[in-house]
């Protein structure tokens, strides 16, 4: 998966992050409707419907179709089929094999845990949780005040 595909997949996730837009998608799976009809079915204003449709259009999830004075919207089934494949890839791909920006696919990725044995962190045991073995941002702040002194944070800034 390349940068463009990741960017587009991110846009789809963002578009579907609002429950009203998810409800719109469900309605548009079965019907091609205008703003007024969507407004009535969803129980929200036409202005709100238009704003949500704009986000869905930008993500290429719905397609407008002019019918006389009205614009009807339908689900872009071709785009949904592509996003289904991309989401399946996203869910099923092992993080160690996934695309990493700035690195060629042949190189191994670094271990992404913050306070592993190779870290320069002086207090790794204080940061690791018993359940995950990783440190949370809250734990970093507690141990290193604002997190700026944390070795992992310093390594990221140098890149």
Average pLDDT score over the chain: 75
How much is the pLDDT for 156? 47
Domain ranges of the chain: 3-79, 124-158
- Say which DSSP state 150 is in: -
Structurally, what CATH architecture does the domain formed by 3-79 represent? Orthogonal Bundle (1.10)
Residue 52 has pLDDT above 90, yes or no: yes
Total-model pTM: 0.56
Q: What is the pLDDT of residues 71-106, one digit of tens each?
A: 999 999 998 888 888 788 778 876 555 555 554 444
Residue 32 has pLDDT above 90, yes or no: yes
Residue 46 has pLDDT above 80, yes or no: yes
Written in H, E and C, the secondary structure of 40-109 is HHHCCCHHHHHHHHHHHHHCCCEEEEEECCEEEEEECHHHHHHHHHHHHHHHHCCCCCCCCCCCCCCCCC
């Amino acid at each position: 998966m390349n940068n463009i595909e990741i960017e587009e997949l991110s846009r789809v996730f963002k578009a579907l992050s609002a429950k009203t837009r998810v409800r719109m998608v469900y309605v548009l799976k079965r019907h091609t409707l205008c703003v007024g009809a969507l407004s009535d079915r969803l129980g929200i204003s036409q202005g709100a419907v238009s704003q949500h449709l704009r986000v869905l259009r930008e993500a290429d999830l719905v397609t407008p179709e002019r019918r006389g004075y009205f614009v009807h919207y339908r689900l872009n089934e071709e785009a949904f089929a592509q996003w289904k494949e991309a989401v399946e890839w996203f869910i099923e791909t092992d993080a160690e094999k996934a695309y990493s920006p700035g690195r060629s696919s042949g190189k191994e990725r670094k271990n992404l845990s913050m306070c592993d044995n190779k870290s320069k962190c002086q207090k790794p045991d204080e940061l690791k949780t018993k359940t995950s073995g990783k440190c949370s941002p809250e734990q970093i702040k507690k141990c290193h005040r604002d997190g700026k002194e944390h070795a992992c944070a310093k390594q990221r800034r140098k890149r």
